Amino acid sequence: MKADIRVALVGNPNTGKSTLFNILTGLNQKIGNFPGVTVDKKTGFCQLPDGRTAEIIDLPGTYSIYPKSKDESIVFSVLADKAKSLVPDLIVVILDASNLKRNLLLYTQIADLKIPVVIALNMIDVSEKAGIKIDVDLFSKKLGVPVVPISARKIMGIDQLKSTIAYANKIALQQDTIDVEVIAPQIIAQIKDDLKIDNPYFALQLAHQHETVSYLSTEESDRIENLEREFSFHSQKAQATETIARYNFINDLLYDTVKKPETAHDETVSNKIDKILTHKIFGFVIFFAILLFIFQAIFSWSAYPMSLIEDLFIWLQSIVSKTLPAGPLVSLLSDGVLAGLSGVMVFIPQIAILFALISILEDTGYMSRVTFMMDKVMRKVGLNGKSVVPLIGGFACAVPSIMSTRNIENWKDRMITIMVTPLVACSARLPVYTLLIALVVPNRNVWWIFNLQGLALTAMYLLSIVSAVLVAFVMKFILKARERGYFIMELPVYRMPRWKNVGFTMYDRSKTFVLQAGKVIIAVSIILWVLKSYAPGDTFARIDQKYSQSQYTKTMTPDSLNKVIASEKLETSYAGVFGHVIEPVIKPLGFDWKIGIALISSFAAREVFVGTMATIYSVEGDADKMESVQQKMHSATKPDTGQPVFTLAVAFSLMMFYAFAMQCASTVAVVYRETKNWRWPAAQFAYMTALAYTASFIVYHLLK
Amino acid sequence: MTLSQLEVGEKGIVKEFTDLEMSVKLMEMGCLPGEEIRISRIAPLGDPIAIHVSGYQLSLRKFEASTIILQ
């Protein structure tokens, strides 16, 4: 779609910017990245009343155009970057009408850049209810810009906003807010002169931000650096002077235009809720109850749609194999592509549910309270209050949890959270654990109520949390902080969740996951399919020939014959060859080549282990039936000694491997997507595999 | 006297800051000289704290609060 006008939405966090964006653009939105950076670029199109189309860009929420995080540095780059034609024709600054003072700081900064501005005075219903009286006309007159009172939640004033956008001026008409030039007269004059800039505030911003603004040439940046030294320009002092001047302007403005009661009604209600939700004891009890609920919901609510999706793919596979003539292409389609796709799609319910719940927690304002309560504990181990939610979400699936770490502003805290989240025992490990525990741990009660198998499973879950915390603690000392660790955070008033937003988040994140992680997992499953389906030379043909002899066809049922052939083909396939190749490496962990194949194939996804075991031990009947896999594994013996393969030591060694190793293509893909650098998933893969190997080795030799 | 020394419910007026870098961030969030601050609550584990300033609630760590000098 081609847009006639480009409009950027700018505002503080918690002002309803995203809600407005969703209303203006509907489902017609796209998430990409700003050129050269990892920050999400949300754009969409909006039909204006005069028939033109506006491209709406949702910029990250920020309190000021002086960036504190990578997300925030985008705002100035986009507004100032004339070279890359990202600069908007019009900026809609969204102000929270019930919190004008702090919100106006960003407006005054934007206004002084002299880009045409429209103010959307959001939550006007809330502020009116709280008894705040704003003289909108005077407000607009004093600033010299159109001011539209709206309520994005109640969808009020949106049409008026659209027509204001349509008929907005092409030239900036806003009043100056402060006298910018007195802050640093010489350097501003010099930069204006050198770089041919006519806007003094823009020149001042370049003095502050020339290091992070990408379109300046090295010479230009060096030139500004020299000017800073020449005029002894101190960025932070200048910022302080500027901020005080801006607040003086804002106080004057508000004194004339806004009448406010002593305490806002909303705030007192919020305070009462906070007394309970951040209470010394109840606070934590409620928090853990909510976590338990999320945990439960992800498991129980997702079970039904997940099995539906699985069934759908099994049905699709059967259609493909029934209707199309058998051959390698059909096999690739059904066992490679469709199997891979089902591996991706099956996570959608968990992703959708987790994100719905997380966005409800965020929308209501509860998430910032969790951060508030947990910050001290989490800080000790190198994490952040906001890391709690991804870690808990990791019990379901690391993929959506890693995507949810974007709420963590601090770079180091976020990276550590991403690095340790896959250690938390996700739902894909569950089938592996239950299978192996059932194999070697007796189903017996100890101390009356505790079941030995249940205890073993609980231990695996506890181990995962303990290891995540320990690794985080180690990484705290390895990773170098890029920015000073702040914890200056708004605690927004409690509000009802915006259900439409919740829906958008669910849809958005699921779509992103399917598109991004999907590509990788399909590629991996195709590779695995090739490895399992082909063998060097004519090995497969010879196996077929061998089993077509009458001594086999007469003594065995066709079904079991097929199983034997499949198992022998697997052994000689490239995957089998790989299994034999890596056997010396995994022997110290107590694994043989068959387990080796399972390890390799389940590097794409852990749950593949059970299926691979089923194929390798040529299970009778249904391959997905747990009992039969278990029985076969139980009776599996080593060919040389006749001893059982799956001893207590081997089973626990395997579980350790699955607990620590990063066997999940989706996670690798999503870590890459979130960090935009292969170094992170590579480092994660390396440390987790090393940890897995060490843990397996130790456990095997202790239990042997 | 610094902000970190106030008890819950007590009020103070910002005078100045001891840390320039922190002061820029704090001022942007509305903690300006001359502004009244009230301690709303302290986190269950004693840190961070929540303050009422400029018509909204802000949380910050005790260390950050100790850089704000009150009148």
Among the listed residues A53, A26, A57, the one whose alpha carbon sits nearest the alpha carbon of residue A41:
A57
Mutation choice for A interface testing from B11, B29, B38, B63 by most A CBs within 10 A: B29
| Judgement on whether residues A444 and A313 belong to the same structural domain of the protein | yes
DSSP per-residue string spanning A78-91:
HHH-TTTT---SEE
d(CA A278, CA A373): 7
Among the listed residues A144, A152, A95, the one whose alpha carbon sits nearest the alpha carbon of residue A119:
A95
What six digits make up the tokens of A533? 């389906």
CB contact under 8 A, A375 and B54: no
Mutation choice for A interface testing from B20, B21, B25, B53 by most A CBs within 10 A: B25
For chain B (71 residues), the mean pLDDT of every run of 10, in chain order, is: 91 93 90 92 91 91 93 87
CB contact under 8 A, B50 and A64: no
Q: What is the residue-averaged pLDDT of chain A?
A: 85
What six digits make up the tokens of A464? 């995962």
- Confidence (pLDDT) at A265: 60
**Res A248 pLDDT > 50:** yes
Q: Which residues of B touch A368 (CB under 8 A)?
A: 59
DSSP A679: H
CB nearest B55 (choices: A264, A279, A491)? A264
CB nearest A244 (choices: B32, B40, B44)? B32
| Judgement on whether residues A108 and A133 belong to the same structural domain of the protein | yes
Q: Are A139 and A106 in contact (CB under 8 A)?
A: no
For B1-71, strand residue ranges (E) read: 11-17, 36-42, 49-53, 56-60, 68-70
CB contact under 8 A, B21 and A372: no
Range scoring the smallest mean pLDDT among A195-209, A400-414, A621-635, B36-50: A621-635
- Confidence (pLDDT) at A36: 60
Model confidence at A84, pLDDT cuts 50, 70, 90, reads: low
Mean pLDDT of A90-116: 93
Model confidence at A472, pLDDT cuts 50, 70, 90, reads: very high
d(CA A13, CA A351): 24
- Confidence (pLDDT) at A9: 94
Single residue among A170, A194, A214 that ends a domain in this structure: A170
CB contact under 8 A, A264 and B58: no
d(CA A5, CA A162): 12
Q: Which residues of A touch B56 (CB under 8 A)?
A: 99, 102, 267, 490-493
CB contact under 8 A, B45 and A102: no
Tell me whether residue A62 is in a domain. Answer: yes
CB nearest A271 (choices: B27, B33, B40)? B40
Q: Which residues of A touch B34 (CB under 8 A)?
A: none
Tell me whether residue A273 is in a domain. Answer: no
**Res A82 pLDDT > 70:** no
Tell me whether residue A415 is in a domain. Answer: yes
Helix ranges (DSSP H) in A339-421: 339-345, 348-364, 366-380, 388-393, 398-403, 411-420
- The 3-class secondary structure across A196-252, one letter per residue, is CCCCHHHHHHHHHHCCCCCCCCHHHHHHHHHHHHHCCCCHHHHHHHHHHHHHHHHHH
| Judgement on whether residues A686 and A549 belong to the same structural domain of the protein | yes
Tell me whether residue A421 is in a domain. Answer: yes
* C-alpha Rg value of chain A to the nearest Å: 30
| Judgement on whether residues A114 and A228 belong to the same structural domain of the protein | no
Single residue among A450, A478, A506 that ends a domain in this structure: A478
d(CA A645, CA A667): 31
Q: Give the three-class secondary structure for A507.
A: helix
Q: Are A457 and A434 in contact (CB under 8 A)?
A: yes
| Judgement on whether residues A186 and A166 belong to the same structural domain of the protein | no
| Judgement on whether residues A305 and A447 belong to the same structural domain of the protein | yes
| Judgement on whether residues A614 and A554 belong to the same structural domain of the protein | yes
- Confidence (pLDDT) at A655: 95
The torsion region of residue A397 among left (phi > 0), alpha (psi -120 to 50) and beta comes to: beta
- CA dihedral sign of residues A265, A266, A269, A270: negative
**Count of domains in chain A?**
4
Q: Are A395 and A422 in contact (CB under 8 A)?
A: no
CB nearest A105 (choices: B28, B47, B64)? B28
Q: Does residue A501 or residue A436 have the better pLDDT?
A: A436
| Judgement on whether residues A19 and A134 belong to the same structural domain of the protein | yes
The residue of chain A nearest to residue B62, with distances taken between CA atoms, is A487
| Judgement on whether residues A220 and A348 belong to the same structural domain of the protein | no
- Confidence (pLDDT) at A70: 66
Cα–Cα distances (Å) from A148 to A79, A94, A95, A119, A157, in that order, read: 22, 10, 10, 6, 7
CB nearest B55 (choices: A101, A247, A489)? A101
**Res A92 pLDDT > 90:** yes
Is the CB of B11 inside 8 Å of chain A's CB atoms?
no
Mean pLDDT of A592-621: 76
CB contact under 8 A, A267 and B57: yes
d(CA B41, CA B63): 16
**Residues near A619 by Cβ (< 8 Å), separated by ≥ 6?**
A563, A625, A628, A629, A632
Residues of A at the B interface (Cβ-Cβ below 8 Å)? Answer: 63-64, 66, 68, 98-102, 105, 236-237, 239-240, 243-244, 247, 260, 264, 267, 270-271, 274-275, 278-281, 283-284, 368, 372-373, 375-377, 484, 486-493
Model confidence at A121, pLDDT cuts 50, 70, 90, reads: very high
The pLDDT tens digits of the residues spanning A332-355 come to 887 777 877 777 787 788 878 888
CB nearest B28 (choices: A64, A260, A487)? A64
**Res A71 pLDDT > 50:** yes
CB contact under 8 A, B28 and A243: yes
CB nearest B64 (choices: A270, A278, A487)? A487
| Judgement on whether residues A370 and A419 belong to the same structural domain of the protein | yes
- Confidence (pLDDT) at A37: 60
Nearest C-alpha of chain A: how many angstroms from B68?
A: 13
Q: Does residue A531 or residue A112 have the better pLDDT?
A: A112
Spell A302-340 as b/e; 16+ CB within 10 A means b.
beeebeebeeebeeebeebbeeeeeeeeeeebbbbbbbb
d(CA A664, CA A102): 44
Share of chain A above pLDDT 70, in %: 94
The residue of chain B nearest to residue A280, with distances taken between CA atoms, is B44
CB contact under 8 A, A368 and B59: yes
The pLDDT tens digits of the residues spanning A299-330 come to 778 888 888 988 898 888 888 878 888 778 88
Tell me whether residue A82 is in a domain. Answer: yes
Model confidence at A99, pLDDT cuts 50, 70, 90, reads: confident
Nearest C-alpha of chain B: how many angstroms from A278?
A: 7
Model confidence at A151, pLDDT cuts 50, 70, 90, reads: very high
Is the CB of B56 inside 8 Å of chain A's CB atoms?
yes
Model confidence at A159, pLDDT cuts 50, 70, 90, reads: very high
- Confidence (pLDDT) at A521: 67
The pLDDT tens digits of the residues spanning A612-668 come to 777 777 554 454 555 567 777 887 777 777 788 889 999 999 999 999 999 988 899
Among the listed residues A525, A608, A546, A534, the one whose alpha carbon sits nearest the alpha carbon of residue A572:
A534
A518 sits in which H/E element: helix A499-533
- Confidence (pLDDT) at A5: 92
Share of chain A above pLDDT 90, in %: 31
Q: Which residues of A touch B40 (CB under 8 A)?
A: 271, 274
Q: Which residues of B touch A375 (CB under 8 A)?
A: 43, 47-48, 61
- Confidence (pLDDT) at A246: 94
| Judgement on whether residues A426 and A379 belong to the same structural domain of the protein | yes
Is the CB of B21 inside 8 Å of chain A's CB atoms?
yes
CB nearest A102 (choices: B29, B50, B59)? B29
d(CA A58, CA A7): 9
CB nearest B44 (choices: A101, A236, A284)? A284
Single residue among A228, A259, A290 that ends a domain in this structure: A259
CB contact under 8 A, B47 and A375: yes
Tell me whether residue A496 is in a domain. Answer: no
d(CA A210, CA A221): 6
Q: Are A47 and A25 in contact (CB under 8 A)?
A: no
Model confidence at A553, pLDDT cuts 50, 70, 90, reads: confident
Range scoring the smallest mean pLDDT among A75-89, A280-294, A410-424, A623-637: A623-637
Residue range of the domain that includes A193: 180-259
Tell me whether residue A490 is in a domain. Answer: no
What six digits make up the tokens of A192? 């204006």
| Judgement on whether residues A161 and A184 belong to the same structural domain of the protein | no
- Confidence (pLDDT) at A621: 47
Is the CB of B50 inside 8 Å of chain A's CB atoms?
yes
Tell me whether residue A485 is in a domain. Answer: no
Q: Which residues of A touch B48 (CB under 8 A)?
A: 372, 375-376, 487
CB contact under 8 A, A102 and B64: no
Residue A416: how many CA atoms within 13 Å on its side-chain side?
A: 30
Nearest C-alpha of chain B: how many angstroms from A235?
A: 10
**Residue A78, φ and ψ in degrees, nearest 5:** -70, -45
- Confidence (pLDDT) at A145: 94
The residue of chain B nearest to residue A105, with distances taken between CA atoms, is B28
Among the listed residues A298, A589, A278, the one whose alpha carbon sits nearest the alpha carbon of residue A424:
A298
* Residue A353 CA to its chain's centroid (Å): 14
- ipTM of predicted assembly, 2 dp: 0.95
Q: Which of A507-521, A572-586, A612-626 has the highest mean pLDDT?
A: A572-586
The pLDDT tens digits of the residues spanning A255-295 come to 999 988 776 566 678 888 999 999 989 999 998 888 778 76
Residues A358, A39, A484, B21: what is their CA dihedral angle, to the nearest 10 degrees? -110
**Residue A89, φ and ψ in degrees, nearest 5:** -75, -25
**Res A13 pLDDT > 50:** yes
Is the CB of B9 inside 8 Å of chain A's CB atoms?
no
